[in-house]
Structure 1
Amino acid sequence: MSGTSGIEGKVIAITGASSGIGEATAIHLAARGARLVLGARREERLNAVVAAIAAQGGTATGVVVDVTRREDLRRLTDTAVDRYGRLDVLVSNAGTMAVSPFDDLRQDDWDAMVATHITGLLNGIGAALPVFRRQRAGHFVNVGSTAAYVVKSPQAVYAATKTAVKVITEGLRQESGPDLRVTLVSPGFTNTEGVGKGGSPEAAEALARQRDEIAMPPSAIASAIGYAVEQPEGVDVSEIVVRPTVQA
């Protein structure tokens, strides 16, 4: 499998795979012949996604994963190697959008965003990098956000953690060497259940309202991820930013 282009046959692990962008990406890649290892916290939701993929003739395995736990990410990458003999791509997609004004002092929400977006991403790198080095091939796809480019109130902490994703991804790309690929996919406003979940009720309500008015379907991001993954060997798509046309 080393250095093949296209999606078919590639072993792809995805975090945050039980809904939203992760689920859409899993379905998109499975339809194109990828072999998937799907990680998420909610076992029932995860099993439902795995079953839906199997019903369409696709190949997927579910692993209960909390990205804030190093051992969970290792279990995800180990499962790929044990079951399919290798890991070609890690899509780090787990996210939480618990936004609120600073004055609300929702510090648990701040911590959750730091733990999920920064520590969670690093845990994925820690688990997959040794596998990729051993194979002399591998592809990191990290899901960022347009919040890293334009900071909007009351999203400061969210934007800060997504800015960290952007910076970590660029640093990883520079260190990756000739055998590995590193891609940042930064979605704009996307219609996922995470929008308006957690955070302050006012902020959540505003986001949910905006989501219904302008958000893109998660399939738009799945296509962007597929585009990066299917490039021929030696072609590294560094960054893709996808926004709804109406988003400033």
Structure 2
Amino acid sequence: MTVADKTVLITGASSGIGEATARLLAQRGAKVVLGARRKDRLDTIVNDIVQGGGQAASMALDVTDRQANEDFVAFAKKQFGGVDVVFLNAGLMPNSPLSALHVDEWDRTIDVNLKGALYGIAAALPEFTGQRHGQFIATSSVAGLKAYTGGAVYGATKWGLRDLMEVLRMESAQEGTHIRTSTIYPAAIKTELLGTITDKQTLADMNKTYDSYQIDPERVAQVVAFAIDQPEDTNVSEFTVGPTIQPW
């Protein structure tokens, strides 16, 4: 199967990598289902896609709500008849030194980045298991490959996501359910991610890095499309994506 005619669910789809991916996949013939908290923004993106001749739908989604993830899958099935790919893209990065003790932000980061992905998997996995095909793609980070000061909790969620996706792939192979997984590790990508940082010094440092290096989210969208476009008997597990000039 190729990208064309696949139904692809995208979380965190109201901006950045999620939005860029929705637009690109729709251009290539996929039926895209967008989920995020900002429904007005989703509606604008869907309207653009439909006006351009593509197929798209959206619903408000809080990935930290388990029932909402199940409703999202049900909505996609009602709109387009099935589910082929789930792009687990929603995420927060409120980085800060551990000594700052932003414990509420730690909780929120774990809830969105890790539990949100788990809930998305739980919602779609029965569908994929029953139909004996499907694909999960997750946005991790280069912080899921190496440690960075100020990013302990964020990095922990992204390292956890790496293990989660790999074990899911292995178990699917053992169980014969033919579910593919891909994990993407972006470096500095132009998104709204820095908007979640409240620690002033951390924000200043991150802004300096991103102002120097960031590339457009369309670059990551192209990688997502590549992963989906592989033959069903081929799994490409990991992609690290970032600016050529960034020493990440």
Asked if 1:188 is matched to 2:180, the reply is no
- Give the Å deviation of 1:246: 2.3
Q: Which ranges in structure 1 are unaligned for 5 or more consecutive residues?
A: none
Q: In the aligned structure 1, how far is the partner of 2:27 from the partner of 2:200?
A: 37
Q: Would you say the 8 A contact 1:169–1:184 is kept in 2?
A: yes
Q: Which position in structure 1 is the counterpart of 2:202? A: 203
**2: CA distance, partners of 1:144 / 1:135:** 27
Cα deviation digits, residues 181-213 of structure 1 (max 9, x gap): 111111111110112433312212221222121
| 1:107 equivalent in structure 2 | 103
Count of aligned pairs: 244
Aligned partner letter, 2:158: K
Provide the alpha-carbon RMSD of the alignment: 1.1
SS of aligned partner of 1:217: coil
Q: 2:8 — aligned with what? A: 12
- 1:153 maps to 2:152: no
1:233 aligns with 2:232: yes
Per the alignment, residue 76 of structure 2 pairs with 80
Q: Supply the distance in 2 between the matched residues of 1:221 and 1:111 (Cα, whole angstroms).
A: 27
Kindly provide the amino acid, as one letter, of the partner of residue 117 in structure 2: L
Which of 11, 16, 30 is the equivalent residue of 1:34?
30
CA contact (8 A) 1:24 1:219 kept: yes
Q: Is there any run of 5+ residues in structure 2 with no aligned partner, and where? A: none
CA distance in 1 between counterparts of 2:70 and 2:48 reads 25
Q: Identify which of 42, 45, 67 aligns with 2:41.
A: 45
Q: CA deviation at 1:232?
A: 1.2
* Distance in 2 of aligned mates of 1:39 and 1:234: 28
1:238 shift after superposition: 0.8
Deviation string 1:26-48 (CA, Å, 9 cap, x unpaired) is: 01101001001110011111111
Give me the TM-score of the superposition, normalised by structure 1.
0.95
Deviation string for 1:91-118 (max 9, x for gaps)? 0000001111112211111111100111
Q: Determine the structure 1 residue equivalent to 2:243.
A: 244
Task: Specify the SS of the correspondent of 1:63.
Answer: strand
Q: Letter of the aligned partner of 2:240 in structure 1?
A: V
Secondary structure at 2:91 match in 1: coil
Which of 83, 87, 94 is equivalent to 1:91?
87
| CA distance in 1: counterparts of 2:179 and 2:144, whole angstroms | 24
Letter of the 1:91 counterpart: F
Residue aligning to 1:61: 57
Distance between the aligned counterparts of 1:204 and 1:56, measured in 2? 37
Structure 2 partner of 1:120: 116
Q: Is the contact between residue 106 and residue 199 of structure 1 (CA under 8 Å) also seen in structure 2?
A: no
SS of 1:233 mapped into structure 2? coil
Q: What secondary structure, in the 3-state scheme, does the structure 2 residue paired with 1:183 have?
A: strand
Instruction: Give the Cα separation in 2 of the matches to 1:182 and 1:78.
Output: 21
CA shift digits 1:38-62 (9 cap, x unpaired): 1001111111111121122111111
Moved more, 40-49 or 219-228: 40-49
- Whether contact under 8 Å (1:195, 1:211) holds in the other structure is no
